[in-house]
Amino acid sequence: MTYCVGMVLDKGLVLMSDTRTNSGVDNISVFRKMFSWSVPGERIITLMTAGNLATTQAVISRLEERTKQPSDRQNSLMELPTMFQVAAETGKLLREVIHETQDDNGRLGKGRFTASIILAGQIKGMEPRLFMIYPEGNFIEASFDTPFFQIGETKYGRPILIRGYDRDMSFEDAVKLLMVSFDSTLKANLSVGLPLDLMVIERDGFGAKHERRIESSDPYFNAISDSWSEALRSAFHSLPDYSFYQPDETT
């Protein structure tokens, strides 16, 4: 499994991904699932991937035209004029890769090579944008009604995102929120694992404002993980107490 979240804020975009891949619980590895390209001052584009690793690596390689000699490569991510076209091109490649691998009349097991992608970025002259790209190659865009996308193991970490998100929150608060969401997911699903990759893209910055790998020894992540249990327990005890005698029974 995987867990990746991309979030739109008034101030820009914040993205976090885990790095665990597994083929059975007895075969786990660390692979980067966040990929970023930028033309400083003009554009920054970041992708996060979930699903079959061979599929997602093939999509990234094709985006960078790694089948060609380095001198002949044209990275379309660096050249396409709009984020919409970047999403369309990425979706097309994703669909092609899945189709090629799957094109066996179902013998290999339908759905085994599937993948999803979160695409975020900004190109000069346009707004920061966030897309979710489906295995079929089509995609949706985030809005302030649905200001974040999750892929992979989305459920454990969702309640806190729903309740903690504010479009005008600071980048620091957004990172904290993502860490809590990832911590809940890591605690519940062994197929999501540290280290985490973090990317903060400031509106009109056209570059990474803040980019880090969060290792298992990270003191801030560990402080969040430790204190969140305590904070949740306090929150729980601050709620009104249940009584076996309900108001309608005592009147």
End-to-end CA distance of the chain: 53
CB of 14 to a second copy, least distance (A): 11
The reply to whether 250 sits near a second copy by the rule CB under 8 A is no
CB of 19 to a second copy, least distance (A): 19
- Encoded one letter per residue, x for contact with a second copy by CB under 8 A and - for no contact, window 130-169 reads -------------------------xx-xxx-xxx-----
Output the 3-class SS for the chain. CCEEEEEEECCEEEEEECCEEECCCCCEEECCCEEEEEECCCEEEEEEEEECHHHHHHHHHHHCCCCCCHHHCCCHHHHCCCHHHHHHHHHHHHHHHHHHHHCCCCCCCCCCCCEEEEEEEEECCCCCEEEEECCCCCEEECCCCCCEEEEECCCCCHHHHHHHCCCCCCHHHHHHHHHHHHHHHHHHCCCCCCCEEEEEEECCCCCCCEEEEECCCCHHHHHHHHHHHHHHHHHHHHCCCCCCCCHHHHC
Q: Which of 67, 69, 71, 238 binds a second copy (CB under 8 A)?
A: 238
Candidates 4-12, 17-25, 83-91, 222-230; binding stretch for a second copy (CB under 8 A): 222-230
CB of 30 to a second copy, least distance (A): 20
- Encoded one letter per residue, x for contact with a second copy by CB under 8 A and - for no contact, window 77-106 reads ------------------------------
The reply to whether 32 sits near a second copy by the rule CB under 8 A is no
The reply to whether 26 sits near a second copy by the rule CB under 8 A is no
- Encoded one letter per residue, x for contact with a second copy by CB under 8 A and - for no contact, window 169-188 reads --xxx-xxx-xx---x--xx
Residue ranges binding a second copy (CB under 8 A): 155-156, 158-160, 162-164, 171-173, 175-177, 179-180, 184, 187-188, 200, 209-210, 212, 219-220, 223-224, 227-229, 231-236, 238-244, 246-247
